[in-house]
Amino acid sequence: MWLQIRSSISSLVVFIVAVVLFTGNVQAQDTLIRPALESDKAIESLLLDITVAGERLVAAGERGHILYRDPGKQWQQAKVPVIAHLTAVDFPTPQQGYAVGHEGIILRSTDAGESWELIHHELVAGPQRAADKIPEVEAALEQAEEAGDRVSQEELEIELDDLYFLADSEEVPPLLDVYFTSADKGFAIGGYNLFLVTEDGGDSWSSQSSALPNPEGFHNNAIAQDADGRLFIAGERGRIYRSEDQGLSWDVISPRYDGSFFGLFTTSDGLLVATGLRGNLFISDDGGSSWEQPASQAEQTLNGGLRLGSGQLLIVGQNGEYLIGNRDQLQRHTLPGRYSLQAVASQQGDIFAVGRDGIHSLPLLLPSSTRQ
């Protein structure tokens, strides 16, 4: 009798998923899946990430705004098919790039960021992925019941309940960062342990959330790779994970810190830098096996950063705060206007930070010795 009931529930869920996929697409057309408006004010909008695409800079942010700049030229707005808040952007090659954002949206560009196409929408893919897995888990549950394996049965019942919920869900967590190790292989991470992987340049994505030792479902906020090929993910509750096999398996390497990490970057000289709440900053020179917390005067949440040509670190944060200096001596500065800064990038000696009120040029605020 229970098997018949479960079979009926499964059929109902599949039907509901079909309706959700259809209505979800209609709702998306009414909300996020329509072209971003082109505006002269886009350069002053909230921008959340900036990166390099060859010699070009590309920045992304709210309402689907993506902007790009060639050396010595003016910023231009890209053609984008969504108005979703875009949280991160990455270019594995000068021409091929990816941007991620709310509703698990993933965009791809093949012309150095001038135009973009929608290649993944988790609001559609997530429920479908859950619905596809339901028969597999139901079969496993039936085997556990026949074998009298109560432990496996309870675990599978919980997993099945989660799948039923996800298959009928009309909300998905946002993607918060993206990183490609090559033109084909990439990772997209986000809220509630959302973790997607592609092996074909973004044509298809699979969920690898179970590979992370994150049973609590903490948010994954940032991902980076060092010169030795190790991958790192940082996020909520001070969690940092490391993979030494290109993302197949992950270990926890968190420092002694309970707050959230929002930024993570590596340097060519072997440093791994994690930034977090209330000026918390941790640096490792052995791939995360050990950590030190340098003294600094930082008070605000720290976000992105980079290594300058001089070898010094530049780290940007909330309320216009940014740090410059060597790993053991970072000096605090404040941007006029105290605009919160999310990320920073360098282009031929010019330093650009993005955040509230758009793009901010920093070269005049930095000592000339720190320029590339």
Q: CA-to-CA distance for 330 and 275, rounded, in angstroms?
A: 13
Across 24-38, 137-151, 164-178, 272-286, the highest mean pLDDT is recorded for 272-286
Give the tokens for residue 189. Answer: 């991470």
Q: Which of the two residues, 180 and 125, has the higher pLDDT score?
A: 180
121 exposed, middle or buried (CB, 10 Å; 0-12, 13-18, 19+)?
A: buried
Q: CA-to-CA distance for 366 and 316, rounded, in angstroms?
A: 13
Least confident of 111-120, 130-139, 198-207, 341-350: 130-139
Helix (H) or strand (E) holding 26: helix 2-30
Among the listed residues 130, 77, 82, the one whose alpha carbon sits nearest the alpha carbon of residue 106? 82
The answer to whether 320 touches 336, Cβ cutoff 8 Å, is yes
Average pLDDT of span 202-228: 96
Q: CA-to-CA distance for 17 and 33, rounded, in angstroms?
A: 19
CA count, 13 A, side-chain hemisphere, 207:
18
Among the listed residues 187, 168, 167, the one whose alpha carbon sits nearest the alpha carbon of residue 177? 187
Where in the chain is CATH 2.130.10.10? 40-121+173-370
Residue 5 has pLDDT above 60, yes or no: no
The answer to whether 89 touches 109, Cβ cutoff 8 Å, is no
Q: Which of the two residues, 143 and 29, has the higher pLDDT score?
A: 143
Q: CA-to-CA distance for 237 and 216, rounded, in angstroms?
A: 10
DSSP secondary structure, 301-368, as one string: PEEEEEE-TTS-EEEEEGGGEEEEEETTEEEEEE-TT---EEEEEEETTEEEEEETTEEEE-GGGS-G
- The reported pLDDT for the residue numbered 363 is 54
Average pLDDT of span 313-335: 91
Other Cβ atoms less than 10 A from the Cβ of 259: the count is: 13
Residue 253 has pLDDT above 90, yes or no: yes
Q: CA-to-CA distance for 74 and 42, rounded, in angstroms?
A: 13
Residue 7 has pLDDT above 60, yes or no: no
Among the listed residues 104, 161, 152, the one whose alpha carbon sits nearest the alpha carbon of residue 133? 161
Measured CA angle at 81 (ends 317, 15), to 5 deg:
105
Q: Which CATH code for domain 40-121+173-370? A: 2.130.10.10
Torsions phi, psi for 289 (to 5 deg): -70, -30
- The reported pLDDT for the residue numbered 241 is 98
Strands (E), 174-227: 175-180, 186-190, 195-198, 206-207, 220-225
CA distances to 165, 242, 258, 321 from 246, rounded to whole Å, are 31, 10, 27, 34
- The reported pLDDT for the residue numbered 1 is 39
